Amino acid sequence: MYIQLLTAAAEAPKSSFGFWEAMEEGGPVAWSILAVMVIMSVGSFYILFTKLFEQNKVMKQYKSVRTNFWRTNSLKEGATKLDKNSAWRQLVDDALIAEEKHAKLSDQMEAHDWMHGSLARSEHAIQAKLNGGLPFLATVGATAPFVGLLGTVIGIYRALINIGVAGSASIDKVAGPVGEALIMTAIGLLVAVPAVFAYNWLQSRNRKIFDMMSGFSTDLLANINSGGTIKPATMTATSTQTAGKAAAGRTVPGAKPAAGTTTTTTTTKR
C-alpha cells in the first residue's frame, strides 16, 4: 500500500509557476501588454536622462553668464563669450535683433513693448524645447497603471473560465491566470511610479531655469534701454569676503562692543 502511494506521487504531474509560465498562460494578449509596458519604461528613462543632461548643460552655462558675460563692454562682445548653441546666447542674439528693429519705432512705449515681447517669445521657445518629452512622462504615469489593470482583468477572467470548465477552484487551474494578473499589476506600478517622479523632478528644475531666464531677460532689457549703463551686480566669493571684512572693521558711533571683544582708542595731541 505504501509503495503504491509513493508510485502515484511520483507519477503526479508537476506544475511549474513563474513569470514566464504566467506570461505563456496569458498568451498574445499578455505579451502585447508587456511589450507596451517595456516601451513606456524605456521611453521614460530615455527622456529622463536626456532632459537631465540638457538641464545640467543650461545651468552650467549660466555660471559663465554671471562670471564673464556682464564683465564685457557691450552685449555684442558678451555674446562672443557664450556658447553658440546655448539658450543664453539665443536670448542675447534675439535681444540684439530686437534692439536693431525697435529703433525704427517712434513711440518709446511701443519700443519698450516690442523689446519685452521679443524677449518673451525667445523665452517661450526655449521653454518649449526644455519641456519637450515631459508630456510623455505624464501620460505614462497616468496610463501605465490602467494598462496593467487591463492585464489584471484579463488574468482574472481566465481564472474564472478555468474554474467554470474544471468545476472546482483547484490551485493548478487558478494559479496561472491569477499569477499573470498580479504580475501585470506590479509591472504597471513599476512603470508608472518612476515616470511620475521623473516628471515632477524635471518640472521643478525647469521652473528654476525659467526663473533664471526671466531675470536674465530683465537685465538685458534694462541694459539696452539704459544704453549699456545698467548691469546686474555680480559679486565673486573674493569680493564678498572683502566686503564682509570691511563691514566688520567699521565701527558705528555710539554702538557698544560685543561681549568678549576689546576696543582700542587713539588720542591725537593738538
What band does 250 get if pLDDT is binned at 50, 70 and 90? very low
Q: What is residue 25's predicted lDDT score, i.e. its pLDDT?
A: 66
Instruction: Examine the pLDDT at 164 and tell me if it is beyond 70.
Output: yes
User: Average of pLDDT values for 97-103?
Assistant: 77
User: Between the ranges 94-98, 99-103, 158-162, where is the mean pLDDT highest?
Assistant: 94-98
**What ranges do the domains of the chain cover?**
17-71+84-224
Per-residue pLDDT of 210-238, as tens digits, reads: 999 988 888 888 888 777 777 776 533 44
Please state, in angstroms and as integers, the Cα–Cα distance from residue 89 to each residue in 6, 62, 213, following that order.
Answer: 82, 10, 11
| Cβ 123 vs Cβ 210: under 8 Å | yes
Cβ-Cβ contacts under 8 Å for 58 (sequence gap 6 or more): 86, 87, 88, 130, 209
What band does 111 get if pLDDT is binned at 50, 70 and 90? low
Rounded-to-integer distance, Cα 181 and Cα 69, Å: 59
Instruction: Examine the pLDDT at 251 and tell me if it is beyond 60.
Output: no
Q: pTM score, two decimals?
A: 0.69
What band does 244 get if pLDDT is binned at 50, 70 and 90? very low
| Cβ 75 vs Cβ 224: under 8 Å | yes
User: Average of pLDDT values for 53-60?
Assistant: 91
User: Average of pLDDT values for 12-26?
Assistant: 58
Q: What is residue 116's predicted lDDT score, i.e. its pLDDT?
A: 81
Give the rounded percent of residues in the chain with a pLDDT score beyond 70.
67
Instruction: Determine how many CB atoms are found less than 10 A away from the CB of residue 194.
Output: 18
If one compares 22 and 152, the residue with the highest pLDDT of the two is 152
Query: Residue 31 is placed in which grid cell?
Result: 505579451
Q: What is residue 7's predicted lDDT score, i.e. its pLDDT?
A: 44
